[in-house]
Amino acid sequence: MSDTQNLTVVQAVRDGLYSEMREDDDVLVLGQDVGKNGGVFRATEGLYDEFGGDRVVDTPLAESGIVGAAVGMAAMGLRPVPEIQFSGFMYPGFDQIVSHMARFRARSRSRFSLPMTLRAPYGGGIRAPEHHSESKEAFYAHEAGLKVVIPSTPYDAKGLLAASIRDPDPVIFLEPKLIYRAFREEVPEEPYTVPIGEAATRREGDDVAVFTYGAMTRPTLEAAENLAEEGIECEVVDLRTVSPLDREAIVDAFERTGRAVVVHEAPKTGGLAGEITAIIQEEALLYQEAPVKRVTGFDVPYPLYALEDYYLPTAARIEDGILEAVEF
Amino acid sequence: MSVFDRAYDDPVRVLDEDGEVVGDVPDLGDEELVDMYRHMRLVRHFDGRAVSLQRQGRMGTYPPLSGQEGAQIGSATALAEGDWMVPSYREHGAALVHGLPLKQTLLYWMGHEAGNKAPEDVNVFPVAVPIASQVPHATGASWAAKLRGTDEAFLCYFGDGATSEGDFHEGVNFAGVFDTPTVFFCNNNQWAISVPRERQTRSATLAQKAEAYGIDGVQVDGMDPLAVYAVTAAALEKARDPEPDRPRPTLIEAIQYRFGAHTTADDPTVYRDDDEVERWKAKDPIPRLETYLRSEGVLDDERVAEIETAVEERVADAIDAAEAVARPEPSELFEHAYAEIPPELRRQREEFAALRETRGDEAFLEE
């Protein structure tokens, strides 16, 4: 048993970067304020002192330049880990993400691969200004050639980040900033990976399967505990990767319960909940006891913070959603 | 004095429009000069054949390059074998000089993805269609070389329209900040489809945009292959082996003209005058170099005729070879999205295979 440290999610991200940079000289970090400042959320704290300005690079303020330069670096065999300061600012780099990051391998018939991991804090709940709270993982999950990973615990944050950096293909690694510092967990000091594409069962139960990921995992678990007091046992599945989805885990949990609720903070229309519902329809229709319930953000621009509590799914909303599925 | 110490609107010239020497002839051997001439003749002929193949329905939409041979062949001749080329989508001639077989270029425009896979020992990036999007790639790739301490230089091509895009500015700015071994080569062919150079920028030149990023900017007569060679060679040399107090990256603006359409889907008669085309055709890089080489006694009628015959044969062979390539195996659709195919995609591939098995390929194909 190796030594562990008691870390928050953002400390685990930092620890993951540190471990991978120690393991592999080809790993480097670039972005705005990632160097001396250590990142606006401190996700790269201390890395500059440890690895120097050639591997922890403060770039000009230019998202397309950051992603595009990382594409070029990765094509030449480095493992760049570009950071976009907030996922709401990924759009200036969107063309590079979908036109090149996702397609370089296919376009070159695998002569080039892009072992790059684009990190960004995402999601709401921290009273941030406009454009700092978006949850647009569906854009990237819709794009073939990318993988999209969203951790919900410190242990997973480090292990999934390591797996992403070591992956031969490009990964969009979205970090739920609402839980960056919400709790701690024992995290091994040594490097390890958590496989991309595998969901984790966070709670077992026979009455209803609740699928979620990222920051919504905690209110979902809270709702499940509350309902347990009323005798309703929820299976809570944390997807951890939204592309590729763990179909097997989704189908398996659904077949055992016959009922499903999907929880995410992203808007409802075109969101991952629709995809998960479709998987259930395609693979497990005959097990279905109730309509699949979606508890999500609304189809409105993410609100300024005075109203964000009303926008984000809460334990109470999730409980209502679960009750609807259970009582159908 | 360095070739970069000059006014932005003072293009480097070696040969005038009549092939008379008006500048410093670069130090190239006779055979290298003949190779440049041969390559220009080759891609001019290739270009005509490619347009014709498109008209006959034997090739998809194709972007012609005629008029731009001087810039393409002159610049690519300056590359060392280990250097990298980062093209847009019109650099068939430059890519040929740097080792990409003509067959590959044909295959790509005939709709085969395999055309974009350069052989392992040919340092050419895949075609980039979104305008200017390859500029940050060139910066990143050359930055990687610098970080690793290798000495390749990177030559990145784009057009005049690309200089309006954010990616041009972001890529060149990064190169300036990180002093990467990159040469940005702007093929200013005067038109971004139908929009003239004057509508791209209020700047008097594109070369002067380098000033904003603290790198060298220089104009060259893009229809003078020897001038293009000289400028590109100097820029690549500086990228590889930086001079004190000079930035490694360079922005080259090569002034030239696309004689034909933007692509075979475009009709330039809608937006430009015949007079203008004729004026530029008088600057054609091919007769210009030919006149010079004849005056130097390097070329004569016999040699020119030999080259012409060889060029026609080589293009015909490449077309035969490309057309002999069968339609790609349809299952290839699924092969290169990821290094390891994810489970859902595997399912889609199996479903597709089962459908082909039961319904046959005629269920998919119209012909």
SS3 annotation, chain B: CCCCCCCCCCCECCECCCCCECCCCCCCCHHHHHHHHHHHHHHHHHHHHHHHHHHCCCCCCCCCCCCCHHHHHHHHHCCCCCCEEECCCCCHHHHHHCCCCHHHHHHHHCCCHHHHCCCCCCCECCCCCCCCCHHHHHHHHHHHHHHHCCCCCEEEEEECHHHHCHHHHHHHHHHHHHCCCEEEEEEECCEECCEEHHHCCCCCCCCCHHHHHCCEEEEEECCCHHHHHHHHHHHHHHHHCCCCCCCCCEEEEEECCCCCCCCCCCCHHHCCCHHHHHHHHCCCHHHHHHHHHHHCCCCCHHHHHHHHHHHHHHHHHHHHHHHCCCCCCHHHHHCCCCCCCCHHHHHHHHHHHHHHHHHCHHHCCCC
Test A247 with B120 for CB contact under 8 angstroms. Answer: no
The full DSSP string for A36-52 is TT--TTSTTTTHHHHH-
The Cα of A229 is separated from the nearest Cα of chain B by a number of Å equal to 38
Left if phi > 0, otherwise alpha if psi is -120 to 50, otherwise beta: which for A234? beta
**What's the pLDDT tens digit per position in A148-161?**
999 999 999 999 99
Residue bearing tokens 């595997």: B346
Q: Would you state the pLDDT for residue A1? A: 57
What span, in angstroms and rounded, lies between the C-alpha atoms of A129 and A323?
A: 34
Test B144 with A64 for CB contact under 8 angstroms. Answer: no
Test A71 with B342 for CB contact under 8 angstroms. Answer: no
Residue stretches of chain A with pLDDT short of 50: none
The type of residue at B293 is: L
B53 pLDDT band, cuts 50/70/90, is very high
Question: The complex's ipTM?
Answer: 0.91
Residues 6+ apart with CB under 8 A from B332: B113
What span, in angstroms and rounded, lies between the C-alpha atoms of A217 and B31?
A: 70
- Flag whether residue B117 sits within 8 Å of chain A, measured between CB atoms: yes
What span, in angstroms and rounded, lies between the C-alpha atoms of A65 and B175?
A: 10
**What's the pLDDT tens digit per position in B325-338?**
999 999 999 999 99
- Over residues B259-281, the mean pLDDT reads 96
Percent of chain B topping pLDDT 90: 97
The Cα of A183 is separated from the nearest Cα of chain B by a number of Å equal to 33
- Flag whether residue B337 sits within 8 Å of chain A, measured between CB atoms: yes
CA-wise closest residue to A326 among A223, A265, A257: A257
Residue B186 corresponds to which tokens in the numbers above? 């702007």
CB contacts of A96 in chain B (<8 Å) are 133, 136, 167
A297: β partners: A267
Could you tell me which chain B residue has the CA closest to the CA of A64? B167
CB contacts of B180 in chain A (<8 Å) are none
H or E segment and range at residue A266: strand A260-267
Sign of the alpha-carbon dihedral angle for B104, B105, B108, B110: negative
CA-wise closest residue to B116 among A305, A291, A112, A170: A112
Test A104 with B126 for CB contact under 8 angstroms. Answer: yes
What's chain B's average pLDDT? Answer: 96
Could you tell me which chain B residue has the CA closest to the CA of A196? B342
Q: Would you state the pLDDT for residue A2? A: 75
Size of interface A-B (CB pairs under 8 A): 142
**What's the pLDDT tens digit per position in A4-47?**
999 999 999 999 999 999 999 999 999 999 999 999 999 999 99
Test A108 with B116 for CB contact under 8 angstroms. Answer: yes
B366 pLDDT band, cuts 50/70/90, is confident
Residues 6+ apart with CB under 8 A from B217: B4, B8, B205, B207, B208, B209, B210, B211, B250, B251, B252, B253
- Flag whether residue B162 sits within 8 Å of chain A, measured between CB atoms: no
What span, in angstroms and rounded, lies between the C-alpha atoms of B311 and B54?
A: 20
Could you tell me which chain B residue has the CA closest to the CA of A92? B166
Helix (H, G, I), strand (E, B) or coil at A54: coil
Contact between B194 and B42 (Cβ < 8 Å): no
Test B335 with A247 for CB contact under 8 angstroms. Answer: no
What's chain A's average pLDDT? Answer: 97
Test A168 with B339 for CB contact under 8 angstroms. Answer: yes
Residue bearing tokens 């080329």: B85
Residues 6+ apart with CB under 8 A from B349: B331, B333, B334, B341
The Cα of B221 is separated from the nearest Cα of chain A by a number of Å equal to 29
The type of residue at A93 is: G
B367 pLDDT band, cuts 50/70/90, is low
What values do phi and psi take at B184, rounded to 5? -95, 120
Q: Would you state the pLDDT for residue B364? A: 87
Q: What are the catalytic residues of B?
A: 258, 262, 271
Q: Would you state the pLDDT for residue B363? A: 86
What global pTM score does this model have? 0.95
Q: Does the pLDDT of residue B140 top 60, yes or no? A: yes
Could you tell me which chain A residue has the CA closest to the CA of B334? A106
CA-wise closest residue to B89 among B109, B103, B110: B109
CB contacts of B170 in chain A (<8 Å) are 60, 62, 64-65, 68
Contact between A9 and A180 (Cβ < 8 Å): yes
Test B117 with A247 for CB contact under 8 angstroms. Answer: no
Residues 6+ apart with CB under 8 A from A132: A86, A88, A126
Q: Does the pLDDT of residue B365 top 90, yes or no? A: no
Residues 6+ apart with CB under 8 A from B6: B12, B218
- Flag whether residue B125 sits within 8 Å of chain A, measured between CB atoms: yes
